[in-house]
């Protein structure tokens, strides 16, 4: 009877996972939505229209799992978002939620996509294998069915009428809350994943430096460099020497250690806080010199551009380093001078 076309679903802004390719079959021909207490999500119309799948309201009725080609949910990151991925049923979450909740480990890019809006849904161009097996033949007759289905849907929406305003507010509020919740999750992850390890690492170094008396030795060694304008200028320019700058770059580890040491020296009163701004620029002259090929790759640069760019950026870092530090010196006027 009905014909099914493969659709491609990409993640929306702030979303996770995908792109998924959904292909309905004779057996797997239903899309179930479990959203907003039974209100059809906005994206449902387009999905039904494009794919030819039959919509099922998960709040009103249920559907055997082996008939489900797709599930649409609006989970804020507690349970549902992991439930269907766990059963390996392709899942769209209209909220921008990533790997979260007790079933987070099942939420993977190949079965789950989130933050989806109408703009993220399109017909698959056929270049990607469908997430659900067995492709079906295409036929022109299906368009009629698509329109019919969507009409029914809009009728459905019209029938429920004014209740929808409330539901819309509810859905909107739910989305904002889910967005903040996900933002918090990401933020905590950043703290645990990158900030705390680095703090622990540098703290141990500082412990060794301070606890062994090495600090006094080390700071007398670095004092001439970190403790005055000229030293910082020299440090900045030397760090930016092409080639050396790329070696000193990775993870900004060296800069971060020097920054922490300089801070400790400022706190101890051995370096004037007036130099803080100059220090920031001096320690940063060689920033990202190790990252140039990757960074240009992110900008989708051609191979020749990368070849030229790597050298060019290192040169410009070197050439402009003294200008940056000079600017910092000039703009340090009046900064923490009262101390």
Among 138, 216, 323, 337, binds another protein (CB under 8 A): 323
Among 212, 209, 211, CA closest to 222: 209
Selected catalytic residue, list 75, 81, 285, 289: 75
75 is a catalytic site residue: yes
Q: How many residues bind another protein (CB under 8 A)?
A: 91
Query: From the CB of 20, what's the least distance to another protein, in Å?
Result: 19
Is the Cβ of residue 137 or residue 304 nearer to another protein in the bound state? Answer: 304
8 contributes a contact to another protein by CB under 8 A: no
211 contributes a contact to another protein by CB under 8 A: yes
308 contributes a contact to another protein by CB under 8 A: yes
Measured CA to CA, the distance from residue 172 to residue 267 in angstroms comes to 48
Coil, strand or helix at 123: strand
Q: Which stretch binds another protein (CB under 8 A): 103-111, 123-131, 133-141, 174-182?
A: 174-182
The answer to whether residues 39 and 161 touch, using CB atoms and an 8 Å cutoff, is no
At a CB cut-off of 8 Å and minimum separation 6, what does 288 contact? 249, 295
Sole residue written with tokens 């301070």: 210
> What residues from 176 to 195 belong to the interface with another protein (CB under 8 A)?
176, 179-180, 182-184, 186-188, 190-191, 194-195
Among 105, 212, 220, 337, binds another protein (CB under 8 A): 212
At a CB cut-off of 8 Å and minimum separation 6, what does 101 contact? 75, 77, 78, 79, 81, 82
> What residues from 29 to 48 belong to the interface with another protein (CB under 8 A)?
none
Measured CA to CA, the distance from residue 89 to residue 66 in angstroms comes to 9
Q: Compute the CA torsion angle 91, 95, 100, 101 (nearest 10 deg).
A: -80
Dig out the tokens for 334 from the structure. 């009046």
Measured CA to CA, the distance from residue 114 to residue 34 in angstroms comes to 14
Strands 30-34 and 54-57 turn out to be parallel
The answer to whether residues 20 and 9 touch, using CB atoms and an 8 Å cutoff, is yes
Is the Cβ of residue 155 or residue 302 nearer to another protein in the bound state? Answer: 302
Among 38, 109, 119, 139, binds another protein (CB under 8 A): 119
Is the Cβ of residue 135 or residue 273 nearer to another protein in the bound state? Answer: 273
Is the Cβ of residue 68 or residue 239 nearer to another protein in the bound state? Answer: 239
> What residues from 260 to 299 belong to the interface with another protein (CB under 8 A)?
260-267, 269, 271, 273, 276-277, 279-281, 283-284, 287-288, 291-292, 294-296, 298-299
Query: From the CB of 289, what's the least distance to another protein, in Å?
Result: 9
One character per residue 68-97, x = contact with another protein (rule: CB under 8 A):
----------------------------x-
Q: Which residues of 43-63 are buried (b: 16+ CB within 10 A; e: fewer)?
A: bbbbbbbbbbbbbbbbeeeee
Strands 7-9 and 121-123 turn out to be antiparallel
Among 75, 290, 63, CA closest to 174: 75
Q: Which stretch binds another protein (CB under 8 A): 31-39, 52-60, 165-173, 320-328?
A: 320-328
Say how many C-beta atoms besides its own lie within 10 A of residue 144's C-beta. 9
> What residues from 125 to 144 belong to the interface with another protein (CB under 8 A)?
none
Among 139, 141, 147, 204, binds another protein (CB under 8 A): 204
Angle at 60 between CA 56 and CA 66, to 5 degrees: 45
Is the Cβ of residue 23 or residue 182 nearer to another protein in the bound state? Answer: 182
> What residues from 227 to 256 belong to the interface with another protein (CB under 8 A)?
251-252, 255-256
Active site residues: 75
């Amino acid at each position: 009877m009905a014909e099914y076309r493969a659709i491609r679903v990409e993640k929306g802004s702030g979303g996770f996972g995908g792109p998924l390719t959904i292909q309905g079959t004779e057996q797997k021909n239903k899309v179930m939505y479990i959203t907003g207490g039974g209100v059809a999500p906005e994206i449902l119309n387009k999905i039904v229209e494009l794919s030819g799948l039959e919509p099922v309201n998960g709040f009103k009725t249920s559907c055997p799992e082996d008939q489900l080609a797709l599930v649409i949910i609006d989970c804020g990151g507690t349970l549902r978002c992991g439930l269907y991925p766990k059963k390996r049923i392709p899942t769209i979450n209209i909220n921008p939620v990533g790997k979260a909740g007790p079933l987070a480990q099942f939420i993977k890019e190949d079965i789950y996509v989130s933050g989806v809006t109408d703009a993220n849904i399109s017909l698959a161009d056929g270049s990607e294998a469908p997430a659900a097996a067995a492709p079906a033949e295409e036929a022109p007759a299906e368009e009629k069915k698509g329109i019919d289905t969507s009409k029914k849907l809009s009728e459905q929406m019209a029938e429920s009428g004014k209740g929808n305003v409330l539901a819309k507010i509810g859905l909107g509020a739910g989305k904002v809350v889910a967005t903040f919740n996900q933002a918090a999750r990401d933020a905590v992850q950043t703290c645990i994943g990158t900030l705390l390890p680095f703090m622990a690492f540098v703290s141990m170094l500082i412990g060794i430096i301070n606890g062994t008396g090495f600090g006094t030795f080390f700071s007398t060694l670095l004092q001439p460099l970190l403790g005055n304008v000229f030293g910082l200028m020299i440090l900045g320019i030397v760090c930016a020497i092409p080639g050396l700058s790329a070696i000193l770059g990775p993870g900004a580890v060296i800069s971060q250690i020097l920054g922490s040491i300089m801070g400790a020296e400022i706190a101890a009163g051995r370096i004037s806080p007036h130099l803080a701004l100059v220090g920031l620029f001096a320690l940063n002259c060689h920033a990202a010199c190790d990252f140039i090929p990757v960074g240009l790759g992110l900008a989708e640069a051609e191979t020749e551009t990368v070849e030229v760019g790597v050298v060019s950026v290192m040169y410009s870092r070197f050439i402009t380093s003294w200008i940056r530090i000079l600017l910092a010196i000039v703009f340090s006027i009046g900064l923490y001078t009262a101390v």
